[in-house]
Amino acid sequence: MSHDGDCFLVPGPVRMNSACLEALSTPAITARGSEFRDIMARLNSGLRYAFNLSPSSDKRKNESWSGDDGYKVITVSGSGTAAMEMVMANRFRPNDRVLVPTNGKFGERVAEMGARFCNVKHLKYEWGRAFDFGEIEEQLARGNWEALAICHNETSSGITQDAAELAEMCQRHGVAFILDGITSVGGLPVHPEEWGAEAVVVGAQKCTAGPSGIAAIAVNQRFIDRCIAIRNQDDSNPTYYLDIIPALKKGSDDQTPWTPAINPAMGWAAALETLKEEGLENRWNRCKMLAEGVRKLFLDLGFELLADEFFRSTTVTAILYPEGINDDWRTRLKEEYSTQVIGGQDHLKGKMFRIGSMGETPVSEMIEGCKRMISCFKDFEIDLPEVDVESYF
């Protein structure tokens, strides 16, 4: 199976399928009528599937947002950052102590954002280096923490945190566990209930292949109880649009407090149905197969990967440029080869590129994209060994 046309291999936004695009172009409906509630029910049910939560009905008036595991899903009209802000702003009081270990840009954003709403201690590790679990354990053992908040899959550096291990620590020390799962949910194993996670965030445009500008959170009952208690104590952070209390009040009715992102919700519901057709574990496995192929291929070609070996992400691979290459390579790749990958961020800008293996990317597109990347490196006089790209996937 060969791939013609563009190769779009960025770690989100990813390509949307025709069902999603068609849904996005549906003529306007009202925000409060039964048609939108039907959409919300489908979306809620699909979100529960993507979050790896217990199933719910996809029919309106059936509590589609909740399930036997006690988690509820809440859709946020805004990108992943808005959903993360809803979590941090509502769950904490200004004095709550929250530990945020990081090894990339998005973890650092969790720390930076968290500092607006609570008392954050930022354990900053080098981008791509695994967390020092001994140091985290030591910190947690000192007590007095309200939560540990992490970016689960660090898209900027291609590293996935060992969430099971961190969850175990959180449970042992009685602290809440909060995850930015923006590029993990739907793309690699996430187990909110098993991990006792209080909140997990996802953005539509990443592993679930939905549109940009809409996101969701999954929260457990303890999270909800804490938000309500903090509000009742009059100790909450200022929020209005992202206030979780009105969202909780509307959830049972398959509604949102403000005019929702109606068409994006339709598109996302369609994309989540595609995810269900593929099967969650099948998607995790396809993303893993693609990422493993990319890693092995580029290592054999002599490139260096940014992330520590045992923690490499299966939805995004961060690869360092060889000596003499910068983002001119990406420009040429886009213009001459109709192939897009993404560059490095902040201090790694111009020093690396990242290949996404998330969403619905078929293996044929990854193979073709990798062949074009190799050709483009050769255009820049980079001497690479001959390889059989297909054999890596």
Tell me if 45 contacts ligand PLP by CB under 6 A: no
Shortest Å, Cβ 302 to ligand PLP: 28
Q: d(Cα 358, Cα 150) in Å, to the nearest integer? A: 20
Q: d(Cα 329, Cα 339) in Å, to the nearest integer? A: 11
Residue with tokens 């104590």: 233
Binding segment for ligand PLP among 16-24, 132-140, 150-158, 275-283 (CB under 6 A)?
A: 150-158
Tell me if 80 contacts ligand PLP by CB under 6 A: yes
Tell me if 203 contacts ligand PLP by CB under 6 A: yes
Binding segment for ligand PLP among 151-159, 170-178, 248-256, 379-387 (CB under 6 A)?
A: 151-159
Phi, psi of 193 (to 5 degrees): -70, -50
Shortest Å, Cβ 192 to ligand PLP: 16
Strand order in the sheet with 352-356: 304-305, 316-320, 352-356, 342-343
Residue 13, preceding bond cis, omega within 30 degrees? yes
Phi, psi of 180 (to 5 degrees): -80, 105
Task: Look at strands 147-151 and 339-340 and give their pairing.
Answer: unpaired
- Of residues 155 and 361, the one with the C-beta less far from ligand PLP: 155
Tell me if 101 contacts ligand PLP by CB under 6 A: no
Binding segment for ligand PLP among 76-84, 127-135, 189-197, 250-258 (CB under 6 A)?
A: 76-84
- Of residues 67 and 104, the one with the C-beta less far from ligand PLP: 104
Q: What is the DSSP string of 4-29?
A: -S-EE--SSSPPP-HHHHHHHTPPP-
Q: d(Cα 303, Cα 23) in Å, to the nearest integer? A: 41
Tell me if 183 contacts ligand PLP by CB under 6 A: yes
Binding segment for ligand PLP among 75-83, 238-246, 302-310, 372-380 (CB under 6 A)?
A: 75-83
Tell me if 340 contacts ligand PLP by CB under 6 A: no
Q: Which of 98, 148, 159, 182 forms a contact with ligand PLP (CB under 6 A)?
A: 182
Tell me if 343 contacts ligand PLP by CB under 6 A: no
Q: Which of 180, 198, 254, 365 forms a contact with ligand PLP (CB under 6 A)?
A: 180
CA angle at residue 130 from 125 to 133, to 5 degrees? Answer: 90
Helix axes 363-379, 280-300, angle to 10 degrees: 20
Q: Which of 65, 71, 106, 329 forms a contact with ligand PLP (CB under 6 A)?
A: 106
Query: Which among 131, 152, 129, 95 has a CA at the least distance from the CA of 306?
Result: 129
- Of residues 67 and 107, the one with the C-beta less far from ligand PLP: 107
Tell me if 186 contacts ligand PLP by CB under 6 A: no
Query: Which among 20, 88, 70, 67 has a CA at the least distance from the CA of 265?
Result: 20
Q: d(Cα 260, Cα 72) in Å, to the nearest integer? A: 18
CB 104 within 8 A of CB 290: no
Tell me if 79 contacts ligand PLP by CB under 6 A: yes
Q: What kind and span of H or E run contains 357? A: none
What secondary structure letter does DSSP report for 315? S
Q: Which of 73, 148, 150, 151 forms a contact with ligand PLP (CB under 6 A)?
A: 151
Tell me if 69 contacts ligand PLP by CB under 6 A: no
Tell me if 81 contacts ligand PLP by CB under 6 A: yes
Q: Using CB under 6 A, count the residues that bind ligand PLP.
A: 12
Tell me if 12 contacts ligand PLP by CB under 6 A: yes
- Of residues 66 and 153, the one with the C-beta less far from ligand PLP: 153
Tell me if 155 contacts ligand PLP by CB under 6 A: yes
Shortest Å, Cβ 16 to ligand PLP: 15
CB 344 within 8 A of CB 391: no
Q: d(Cα 307, Cα 315) in Å, to the nearest integer? A: 13
- Of residues 53 and 82, the one with the C-beta less far from ligand PLP: 82
Residues that bind ligand PLP (CB under 6 A): 12, 79-81, 106, 151, 153, 155, 180, 182-183, 203
